[in-house]
């Protein structure tokens, strides 16, 4: 267990708790994006092979897409209401 | 002790509790995304990398379908409220 994994794990833990506790929806989304970046870095550090890099790239792109979809929907719901 | 399974397990538990506790539908969808993050981390921690690629490709599709359903629901509710004022003329 290296120092880099420990620091990224601490950031991910902090973000997971803050997602659960924050009331604002937009801030929840911001912390979700940060958490998915942390998990992507942890994946690339955990699997010591080129396949781990491919998984990390795929997960990074797809989680960003998901967060953007939720942000767009929040804006649409504000427009409707 | 490894870091990735620990963080993924904590994400899974927090996401599961959050889906039950939160009341707003968008908050529920955000918590479900947290649950999916934990699930992918747990899959990777047991080295099923191909399954992890497929599930991380399918995760935004699932979220987008849920969000489209929520938008349709909101639009339908608003339309019903708008027509609800005009329709009681028929019932009089």
Per-residue pLDDT of chain B (92 residues; tens, 9 = 90+): 788 899 999 999 999 999 999 998 889 999 999 999 999 999 999 999 999 999 999 999 999 999 999 999 888 888 877 665 555 555 54
- Residue A40 CA, distance from chain mean position: 8
How far apart are the C-alpha atoms of B51 and B48, rounded to whole Å?
6
How many domains would you assign to chain A?
1
Model ipTM value:
0.88
Full domain range(s) for residue A49 = 3-79
CA distance B33 to A78: 21
Residues 32-71, chain B, touching A (beta carbon < 8 A) = 33-34, 37, 40-41, 44-45, 47, 49, 52-53, 56-57, 59-60, 63-64, 67, 70-71
pLDDT digits (tens, 9 = 90+) for A19-68: 888 888 888 888 999 999 999 999 999 988 999 999 999 999 999 999 99
């Amino acid at each position: 267990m290296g120092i880099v994994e420990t620091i990224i794990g601490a950031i991910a833990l902090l973000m997971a708790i803050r997602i659960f506790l924050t009331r604002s929806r937009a801030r929840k989304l911001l912390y979700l994006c940060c958490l998915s970046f942390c998990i992507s870095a942890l994946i690339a550090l955990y699997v010591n092979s080129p396949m781990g890099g491919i998984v990390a790239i795929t997960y990074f792109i797809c989680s960003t897409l998901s967060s953007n979809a939720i942000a767009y929907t929040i804006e649409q719901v504000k427009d409707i209401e | 002790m490894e870091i990735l399974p620990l963080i993924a397990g904590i994400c899974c538990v927090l996401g599961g509790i959050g889906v039950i506790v939160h009341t707003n539908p968008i908050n529920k969808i955000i918590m479900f995304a947290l649950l999916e993050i934990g699930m992918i981390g747990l899959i990777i921690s047991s080295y099923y990398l191909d399954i992890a690629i497929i599930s991380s490709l399918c995760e935004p599709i699932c979220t987008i379908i849920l969000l489209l359903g929520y938008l349709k629901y909101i639009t339908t509710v608003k339309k019903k409220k708008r027509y609800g004022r005009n329709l009681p003329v028929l019932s009089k």
